[in-house]
Amino acid sequence: MNVNIAICDDDKVVCDQIESMILNYADETSFNVKIDIFYDGGSLIDYMKNEHDDYDLIYLDIEMNEFNGIDAGVAIRNELRDHKIQIVYISGKNQYDRQLFDVQPLLFIPKPIEENQLIKSINLAIEKLELKPKLYHYKKRKEYFNVQMEDIMYFENSGRSVKIITIDGVDTFVGNIKDVAKELAPYGFIQISQSVVVNYHFVSKYSREEIILINKEKIAIPKNKRNEVREQFLRETDKYL
Would you say residue 138 has pLDDT above 80?
Answer: yes
According to the model, what pLDDT value does residue 96 have?
A: 58
What average pLDDT does range 9-36 have in this prediction? 93
According to the model, what pLDDT value does residue 230 have?
A: 92
Give yes or no on whether 2-130 and 135-238 have one common fold. no
The confidence band for 102, taking pLDDT boundaries of 50, 70 and 90, is confident
CA dihedral 98, 104, 106, 112 (to 10 degrees): -30
Closest listed residue to residue 159, CA positions, set 144, 146, 172: 172
How many CA atoms within 13 Å lie on the side-chain side of 84?
A: 15
| CATH 3.40.50.2300 holds for 2-130 | yes
Query: 188-201 pLDDT, tens per residue?
Result: 899 999 999 999 99
Would you say residue 131 has pLDDT above 70?
Answer: no
How far is residue 45's CA from residue 36's CA, in Å, rounded to a whole number?
13
According to the model, what pLDDT value does residue 132 have?
A: 54
151-167: buried (b, 16+ CB within 10 Å) or exposed (e) per residue? bbbbbbbeeeebbbbbb
Return phi, psi of residue 214, to 5°.
-65, -15
Checking DSSP bridges between strand 57-61 and strand 189-191, what pairing results, if any? unpaired
* Structural domain spans, the chain: 2-130, 135-238
How far is residue 168's CA from residue 74's CA, in Å, rounded to a whole number?
17
What average pLDDT does range 40-53 have in this prediction? 87
Query: 204-218 pLDDT, tens per residue?
Result: 999 999 999 999 999
According to the model, what pLDDT value does residue 98 have?
A: 58
The confidence band for 21, taking pLDDT boundaries of 50, 70 and 90, is very high
Least trusted range by pLDDT, from 19-33, 52-66, 78-92, 119-133 = 119-133
What average pLDDT does range 89-98 have in this prediction? 73
The confidence band for 104, taking pLDDT boundaries of 50, 70 and 90, is confident
What average pLDDT does range 138-157 have in this prediction? 91
Would you say residue 94 has pLDDT above 70?
Answer: no
CATH architecture of the domain 135-238 equals: Beta Barrel (2.40)
What average pLDDT does range 231-240 have in this prediction? 81
* First and final C-alpha spacing in the chain: 25
How far is residue 219's CA from residue 192's CA, in Å, rounded to a whole number?
8
According to the model, what pLDDT value does residue 227 have?
A: 93
How far is residue 218's CA from residue 237's CA, in Å, rounded to a whole number?
20
According to the model, what pLDDT value does residue 187 have?
A: 84
Mean residue pLDDT of the chain comes to: 89
- Higher confidence at residue 200 or residue 187? 200
